[in-house]
Amino acid sequence: MINLYLSKFSLYVWLFQSLTVIITVAFILTQTPIARALFNLESSVKKQIYLGLFFGFISMLGTLLGVQTNDAIANIRDVGAITGGLFGGPIVGLIAGIMGGMHRAYLGGFTANSCALATILNGIFAGLLYTRKKGKYFSPLLGFTFAILAESFHMLLVLLISPPFNKALTLIKTVSGPMISANAVGVGLFLLVIKVSFMEKEIVSAITAEKVLKITEKTLPILSKGLTPETADETVKVILENTNLDAVGITDTEKILAFRGIGSYHHKPLSPILTISTKKALSSGKIILMKNEFDIGCSVKDCPLMSGIVVPLKDSEGNVFGALKLYRKERNTMTLFDVEMAKGLANILSLQVELNKLETEKKMKTLFQLKALQSRINPHFLFNSLNTISYIARTDPEKGGELVKKLSFILRKTIEAEETLSTLDEEISLVKAYLEIEKERFKERLNYEFNIDSSLYDIKIPALILQPIVENAVKHGFSLTKRNITIKIIAYRRGDYVYLVVEDNGKGISEETLKTIFNSSENKKSFGLKNVRDRVLNLFGSNAMFKIKSRINEGTKVIIGIPKGGTPNWILERLSSMTKNLQGKS
């Protein structure tokens, strides 16, 4: 903190220069493993305390980067308190506000008490606004607007309780513009940094899911025979061929089962485990990330493995039975994508081996591949289904086997190119299989009914035109007040049109949300609905209808109307050709 007497313009320059430091520090901190882990913790008092300390540090830094003028401090302290409240809630805002406020009071000056109180109150007000938004993330623009109001309140408080009034008025005339603008921009930018951090994680998760499921589809037939040196070697080969890794290995608890890539000349199958990191992962049951050769700890001198990650393989009871190891030939090159992919692969491989032990899964295929003209089963549904099947198989292997067949049917319908288009009969079968699996998760809380005109079963429609809508009803239909829901799937002919209807009695959608439900920038949860609508309108243009009717606590009805002849033949041929081109087929 510098003691200077600056002009208003100079204050603008000084505070915005200080703001660049704050935002740079914020960005760097949000990229650290500790901060990422903190932001991703489940909502708890412990998380709120840690976040409060984090934003309190930012608030104190905002004071230290300020400039002393007219026996006061022009600063950007409220950036930490306000952002903390908007992002973490009242407890976070209160802790950050108290830390920033007490620090300001300690520094003294005729505005010390008023400025300290303003920071504490702004943190609380921001936290209360968070509760009004019910925990949803604030947009940078909304944060910017709120910060302008909060800083204006800050200036008013200084005028009211910082005598003498004339001195306070002179100060406010000098610092109000720079402080209000700098703090508002700071809050907006800080929220943007947080948003970018979460978007990066979402993108990595989406890419990881597709990569993991592509590998899983190829390894399922292999591991259905159990985890042996032979099947482990085939699995390692598949992983290595479908990634840019330099080496991959699988072990049991004592020896190497398979290893391919650099270093394979001494990491030989059926030989003892050579690396300290692998032994540590097996004994602790924890993921080990290695940044260099010293972290890896290979007992062979000049081993080319320079960075990597080891993930324990565990059975349903949490017992470690092996490890998956991914390596690179350069130091510090394991990315967030590599870490997420390793965890995803290890979870899937563990489940595959577990299913094999129970003898309930022999031919199940899983593949998640995004196509421009098809929506896809949500990855969360796939993982939830596998967990449900694994649980049921332990107590009822026969029922588990039936669910495996249903899941295999769903996945087969979503990955075969020739199934890009399907009949209504095939679509209804797909929806039934999906609901039967979900029924095992939700039991009596989920019910469904079908009312289908039997004359319509053979009409051609875009694949997955109903399943994403039904999935959306299952995912978003439940609430604290709607513990049980019923979903109705209806198909009927009226005049020259065929109508497909998915109706539920769930929690419903607000009028405000309905207005922006197809705006991907504002409502990312409606991807499935938007995908279906876009494909229907692209195929049939103005001849199609897609409507959503909904009321809060009463339910939602999605209505699709298409010409009764189904999809015209020329469109079928064109769509089939485009799909083959997307997959690289000629």
Question: Average pLDDT of 301-315?
Answer: 91
The pLDDT of residue 148: 95
Give the integer Cα–Cα distance in Å for 308 and 463: 41
Q: Report residue 36's pLDDT band, with 50, 70 and 90 as the boundaries.
A: low
The pLDDT of residue 3: 52
The pLDDT of residue 39: 60
Give the three-class secondary structure for 575.
helix
Give the three-class secondary structure for 327.
strand
The pLDDT of residue 364: 33
Q: Is pLDDT above 60 for 501?
A: yes
Residue 164: cis peptide before it, omega within 30 degrees of 0: yes
The pLDDT of residue 23: 85
* Cα-to-chain-centroid distance, residue 490: 33
Give the sheet arrangement for strand 72-74, strand by strand: 2-3, 67-69, 72-74
The pLDDT of residue 270: 92
Ranges in the chain annotated CATH 1.10.1760.20:
2-201
Q: Answer with the residue of higher pLDDT: 412 or 487.
A: 487
- Torsion angle, alpha carbons of 52, 53, 54, 55, to 10: 50
The pLDDT of residue 182: 93
- For 177-202, b/e burial (b = at least 16 CB within 10 A) is bbbbbbbbbbbbbbbbbbbebeeeee
Q: Report residue 84's pLDDT band, with 50, 70 and 90 as the boundaries.
A: very high
Identify the helix (H) or strand (E) that includes residue 261: strand 256-261
Question: Average pLDDT of 177-193?
Answer: 91
Q: Report residue 305's pLDDT band, with 50, 70 and 90 as the boundaries.
A: very high
The pLDDT of residue 574: 41
pLDDT digits (tens, 9 = 90+) for 6-18: 677 888 888 888 8
Task: Specify the residue for token string 């009717």.
Answer: 549
pLDDT digits (tens, 9 = 90+) for 522-554: 555 666 777 778 777 777 777 888 999 998 888
Question: Average pLDDT of 39-47?
Answer: 65
Q: Report residue 24's pLDDT band, with 50, 70 and 90 as the boundaries.
A: confident
Give the integer Cα–Cα distance in Å for 482 and 508: 10
Ranges in the chain annotated CATH 3.30.450.40:
224-358
Between 109-118, 150-159, 312-321, 531-540, the lowest mean confidence (pLDDT) is in: 531-540
The pLDDT of residue 46: 79
Between 151-165, 262-276, 309-323, 474-488, the lowest mean confidence (pLDDT) is in: 474-488
pLDDT digits (tens, 9 = 90+) for 329-384: 988 888 777 887 888 888 878 877 776 665 433 333 322 323 433 334 445 556 66
Q: Report residue 161's pLDDT band, with 50, 70 and 90 as the boundaries.
A: very high
Ranges in the chain annotated CATH 3.30.565.10:
379-582
Between 30-39, 263-272, 372-381, 510-519, the lowest mean confidence (pLDDT) is in: 372-381
306 — phi, psi (to 5°)?
Answer: -115, -20
> 84 and 52 in contact (C-beta within 8 Å)?
yes
**What top-level class would CATH report for the domain 2-201?**
mainly alpha
Q: What is the chain's mean pLDDT, rounded?
A: 81
> 251 and 257 in contact (C-beta within 8 Å)?
yes
The pLDDT of residue 572: 46
> 222 and 238 in contact (C-beta within 8 Å)?
yes
Question: Average pLDDT of 441-465?
Answer: 87
Does domain 224-358 correspond to CATH entry 3.40.309.10? no
Q: Is pLDDT above 90 for 492?
A: yes
User: 379-582, superfamily in CATH?
Assistant: Histidine kinase-like ATPase, C-terminal domain (3.30.565.10)
Question: Average pLDDT of 172-176?
Answer: 91
pLDDT digits (tens, 9 = 90+) for 96-136: 999 999 999 999 999 999 999 999 999 999 999 988 876 56
Query: Which residues touch 398 (CB under 8 Å, ≥6 apart)?
Result: none
Q: Is pLDDT above 60 for 208?
A: no
Q: Is pLDDT above 90 for 280?
A: yes
Q: Is pLDDT above 80 for 578?
A: no
Q: HSE (CB half, 13 Å, CA atoms) of 293?
A: 12
